[in-house]
Amino acid sequence: MDLKQIFNVDRPIIGVVHLLPLPTSPRWAGNLKTVIDRAEQEAVALASGGVHGLIIENFFDAPFQKDNVDPAVVSAMSLTIQRLMNLVTLPIGINVLRNDARSALAIASCVNASFIRVNVLTGVMATDQGLIEGQAHQLMRYRRELGSEVKILADVLVKHARPLGSPNLTTAVQETIQRGLADGVILSGWATGSPPSLEDLELASAAAHGTPVFIGSGATWENIPQLIQAADGVIVSSSLKRRGKIDQPIDPNRVSQFVEAMEQGLANAGQESNSIQPLPVSEPI
C-alpha cells in the first residue's frame, strides 16, 4: 500500500467523522439532513485543520450489529459519503461498525472511496456484540468479484474486544497481513481514547515488514510526536473534538494543534537522525 500515492504524504493523519445515529439505530432522530449537515461540518473542520484523509463511520449507532447492518444504514452512509466527497478533496475511507466489512467495501467501491477499516479481519474476538469471526476469505473474494482496488486496513487485536486464546502480537500482525491479505494494519489501545504502547507499535512495525502500521486510537497532540516514530500513520478522533469529549463536534483548532505537533515530532526526529555522523575511517597503512 503506497501511502504517498493515496495521501500525498509519507505519514498521513486520518481524521474520523463520527456520523450521528442512522436509520434503524436506537437513537435515530428521524432526519437524515441533520446527519449530513453535521458530517459536512466535521469534514470541513478536519480538512481545514490539515489532516490528509478522512474515515467515515457509524459510531453513534451503538449498540452495534455484529456484522450485517440494515440496508438503510448502507443507503444512509452512501448518500452521506457521496456528499462529503463532493465537498472535500481528501481521500476517504469507510468503517461500518461493528464488523460489516462487506457493506463497507460495497459502499467504497460504488462511491470510489480509497480504503475501508475492518475491525476483525482474521481470528475470533470476544466483544460486547458476542463472538466476531474474521471473514477475510469472503471479503477478499468479494473485492476481486467487484473488480475493486479499495485498500483494506485491518485492526490487529482490536479495541473493545478480547481474543480467544492468547495470541502473540507479532504472530497476529503477520497472519493479518500474510493470511488475511490486509493492505495495512491498525494497532489500538484497549478502548476508544486509549493509545497503543510504543513498544507494541515497534513490535507491530517489525512484524509488518514494510506493510503500513497505523495508530488506531488514543493519539493526542502530547503523545503523537513519540508514537509516530514507530508507525506509518495515525487515525484520530476523540482528541480533536471540543474539550476532547467524544460526543462533541470536531474543533478545528485542536486539529491544527495535532497536525503541528506531529509535524514537529517528525522534524525533530529527522534532525536527530541527521546529526548522527559516521566515525572517521583511518587510512590503511
φ, ψ (nearest 5 deg) of residue 98: -85, -35
pLDDT at residue 272 in the model: 55
Measured CA to CA, the distance from residue 139 to residue 240 in angstroms comes to 32
Mean pLDDT over residues 93-110, rounded? Answer: 97
| Residue 274 placed within a domain | no
| Residue 237 placed within a domain | yes
| Residue 141 placed within a domain | yes
By residue range, what is the domain housing residue 62? 10-265
> What is the number of structural domains in the chain?
1
Whether 274 shows a pLDDT value over 60: the answer reads: no
Q: What is the pLDDT of residues 144-182, one digit of tens each?
A: 999 999 999 999 987 777 778 767 899 999 999 999 999
Write out the DSSP string of 16-40. EEEPPPPTTSTT--S-HHHHHHHHH
* pLDDT tier at 273, thresholds 50, 70, 90: very low
Q: What is the pLDDT of residues 178-214, one digit of tens each?
A: 999 999 999 987 767 778 999 999 999 999 999 999 9
pLDDT at residue 277 in the model: 45
190 CB-near residues (< 8 Å, 6+ apart): 159, 160
| Residue 285 placed within a domain | no
* pLDDT tier at 271, thresholds 50, 70, 90: low
pLDDT at residue 161 in the model: 73
| Residue 100 placed within a domain | yes
Q: What is the CATH number of the domain that holds 160?
A: 3.20.20.70
